[in-house]
């Protein structure tokens, strides 16, 4: 059903006819084009794109909003790469500020969660030669031996590309080895902005867009799932964002292996891009909305609260997002080091449930693959 606000926009005589055509496509369940995407970014005002995105969100997931119970482990914050947006990268030159965990130290961190009802461990960090193919296959095996039901969501194509190249194995062979060792899914990081005009400038030297997409494709072909991200709001133009979304939509048509898309707002503290201003909350919400409209073959859009703060995350639930990620429990440093709202990101399950209920949505605790762990409908009445 079209919302009243959307009807209002469509009836408005002031509405740009080209925008009206895009809205009609969205209502009819038709895919919007690259040009339509650019038009939405250039001319779609917040209320308009929000109403369209909310329509799409409610078609896909009704009133539900998902979250999970997870924690992060960052095996190292030292990195051979020097992405200019990253608040880790400078640490390669100041190793004393860095950490480098062994397999046993990572296991010890994971064991601290033994008596807690978490369903997922999210493992990612910098790239260093020591943490190679054997390191990670040993780690995944040991995690599974210790706690077989804990979902291991680990590493991105940035790490895998480096690890497989060093071990001289193909992406297909490498991902098969990771699956056999116990990897359950891949998080969405390392995507940044795919187009080389921007990627070379902010993330030169690490895997290319084609390599990032090929590793996800190899993983999906094994019947496995992963996420995708986009780091937006820095030096890219709107059409670079649409190009990024287009490449993801094309691969998703082919494999259907992506679970969720996570827009990541560029934060400018403590990195080489501190002179680049951060975009406004209005731009964040427009970006959620247009991503939701464009990625018609993605089931979920995640508003990562640790990055944008709890208030903006709540707003995003009316602009296309249907997922808030997890409890996290202060186990990730990547955003607090870059100036994110939450310097000590942690939310209890009850706090997450309350955040969702406060905006009139129905919370569902999910596992990583969106299986229902707990419904909270009964408490909504
Ligand atoms: O790839 C690094 C980004 C990503 C900054 O799949 C920054 O469920 C903004 O991908 N400003 C890693 N962003 C995190 C990530 C992620 C997070 C939560 C959930 C999932 C998931 C994936 O963080 C990196 C990079 O794009 N990043 N520095 C910064 N200054
Ligand atoms: Fe390394 Fe990732 Fe930071 Fe780039 S974003 S410097 S690959 S940790």
What does 147-198 look like in DSSP terms, one character per residue?
Answer: -TTSEEEE--HHHHHHHHHHHT--HHHHHHHHHHHT--EE--TT-S--SHHH
Q: What is the pLDDT of residues 74-124, one digit of tens each?
A: 999 999 999 999 987 655 556 567 889 999 999 999 999 998 889 999 999
Q: Classify strands 120-123 and 151-154 as parallel, antiparallel or unpaired.
A: parallel
Q: Which protein residue has the closest C-alpha to ligand 1 atom 28?
A: 86
Q: Give the residue with greater pLDDT, 342 vs 307.
A: 307
Assign 66 to helix, strand or coil. Answer: strand
pLDDT average, residue stretch 256-284: 96
Which ligand 1 atom is at minimum distance from the Cα of 340?
A: 11
Largest CA distance in the chain: 65
Q: Which residue has the tokens 């709001």?
A: 233
Q: To test ligand 1's pocket by mutation, which of 334, 339, 345, 367 has the most ligand atoms within 8 angstroms of CB?
A: 334
pLDDT at res. 92: 52
Average pLDDT over residues 200-222: 97
The finding on whether 83 has its CB within 6 A of some atom of ligand 2 is yes
* Whole-angstrom distance, CA of residue 249 vs CA of residue 298: 8
Strand, coil or helix: 223: coil
Is the pLDDT at 326 greater than 70? The verdict is yes
Average pLDDT value for the chain = 92
Give the closest residue (by CA) to ligand 2 atom 2: 126
Q: In what order do the strands lie in the sheet with 120-123?
A: 70-73, 120-123, 151-154, 185-186, 225-232, 258-265, 300-301
Residue 173 has pLDDT above 90, yes or no: yes
Ligand nearest to the CA of 82: 2
| Contact between 318 and 54 (Cβ < 8 Å) | yes
Mean pLDDT, rounded, for 133-156: 98
Q: Residue 335: CB within 6 Å of ligand 2?
A: no
Tell whether the model's pLDDT for residue 348 goes beyond 70: yes
Q: Tell me what pLDDT residue 330 has.
A: 47
User: Would you say residue 1 has pLDDT above 50?
Assistant: no
Q: Is the CB of 231 under 6 A from ligand 2?
A: no
Query: How much of the chain is helix, strand and coil, in % rounded to 5?
Result: 45, 15, 40
- Measured from the CB, is residue 158 less than 6 Å from ligand 2? yes
Report the pLDDT averaged over residues 259-288.
96
CB 261 within 8 A of CB 220: no
Atom of ligand 1 nearest to the CA of 265: 9
User: 157: Cβ below 6 Å to ligand 2?
Assistant: no
Tell me, in angstroms, the distance from the centre of ligand 1 to residue 232's CA.
11
pLDDT band at 340 (very low <50, low <70, confident <90, very high): low
Sign of the four-CA dihedral 81, 86, 90, 95? negative
Of the two residues 10 and 95, the one the predictor is more confident about is 10
Which residues does 197 contact at the CB level (< 8 Å), separation at least 6? 240
Ranges of each domain in the chain: 4-57, 60-380
Q: Among 76, 88, 98, 211, which residue has the most ligand 2 atoms within 8 Å of its CB, making it the best to mutate?
A: 88
Cα(177) to centroid(ligand 2), Å: 24
Query: Percentage of the chain with pLDDT > 90?
Result: 81
pLDDT at residue 294 greater than cutoff 60: yes
Report CA(355)–ligand 2 centroid distance (Å). 31
Pocket test for ligand 1, best of 72, 82, 161, 264 (most atoms within 8 A of CB): 264
**Superfamily (CATH) of domain 60-380:** Aldolase class I (3.20.20.70)
> 271: Cβ below 6 Å to ligand 1?
yes
Better-predicted residue by pLDDT, 56 or 379: 56
pLDDT value of residue 6: 67
Ligand 1 center to 125 CA (angstroms): 10
Average pLDDT over residues 26-39: 97
Instruction: In whole angstroms, give the CA distance from residue 241 to residue 237.
Output: 7
The single residue listed with the structure tokens 């059409």 is 239
Residue 272's pLDDT is: 93
Does 89 contact ligand 2 (Cβ within 6 A)?
Answer: yes
* Residue 50, ligand 1, Cβ within 6 A: no
pLDDT score of 332 more than 80: no
pLDDT of residue 10: 74
């Amino acid at each position: 059903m079209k919302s009243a606000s959307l009807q209002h926009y469509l009836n408005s005589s002031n509405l740009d006819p080209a925008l009206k055509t895009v809205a009609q496509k969205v209502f009819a369940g038709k895919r919007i084009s690259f040009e339509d995407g650019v038009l939405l970014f250039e001319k779609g005002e917040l209320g308009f794109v929000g109403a369209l995105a909310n329509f799409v969100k409610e078609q896909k997931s009704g009133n539900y909003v998902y979250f999970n119970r997870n924690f992060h482990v960052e095996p190292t914050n030292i990195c051979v790469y020097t992405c200019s947006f990253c608040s880790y990268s400078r640490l390669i030159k100041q190793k004393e500020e860095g950490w480098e965990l062994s397999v046993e130290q990572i296991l010890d961190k994971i064991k601290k969660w033994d008596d807690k009802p978490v369903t997922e461990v999210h493992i990612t960090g910098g790239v260093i030669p020591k943490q190679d193919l054997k390191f990670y296959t040993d780690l995944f095996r040991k995690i599974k031996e210790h706690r077989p039901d804990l979902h291991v969501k680990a590493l991105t194509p940035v790490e895998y590309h480096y690890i497989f190249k060093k071990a001289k194995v193909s992406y297909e062979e490498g991902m098969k080895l990771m699956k056999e060792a116990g990897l359950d899914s891949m998080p969405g990081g390392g995507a940044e902005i795919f187009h080389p005009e921007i990627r070379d400038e902010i993330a030169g030297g690490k895997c290319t867009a084609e390599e990032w997409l090929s590793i996800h494709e190899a993983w999906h072909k094994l019947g496995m799932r992963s996420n995708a991200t986009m780091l937006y709001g820095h030096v890219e133009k709107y059409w670079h964002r649409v190009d990024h979304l287009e490449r993801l939509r094309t691969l998703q048509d082919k494999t259907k292996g992506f679970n969720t898309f996570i827009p990541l707002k560029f934060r400018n503290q403590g990195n080489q891009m501190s002179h680049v201003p951060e975009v406004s909350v209005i731009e964040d919400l427009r970006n959620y909305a247009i991503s939701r409209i464009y990625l018609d073959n993605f089931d979920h859009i995640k508003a990562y609260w640790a990055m944008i703060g709890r208030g903006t995350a709540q707003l995003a639930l009316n602009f296309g997002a249907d997922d808030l990620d997890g409890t996290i429990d202060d186990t990730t440093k990547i955003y607090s080091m870059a100036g994110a709202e939450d310097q000590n990101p942690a939310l209890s399950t009850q706090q997450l449930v309350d955040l969702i209920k406060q905006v009139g949505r129905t919370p569902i605790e999910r596992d990583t693959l969106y299986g229902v762990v707990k419904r909270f409908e009964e408490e909504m009445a």
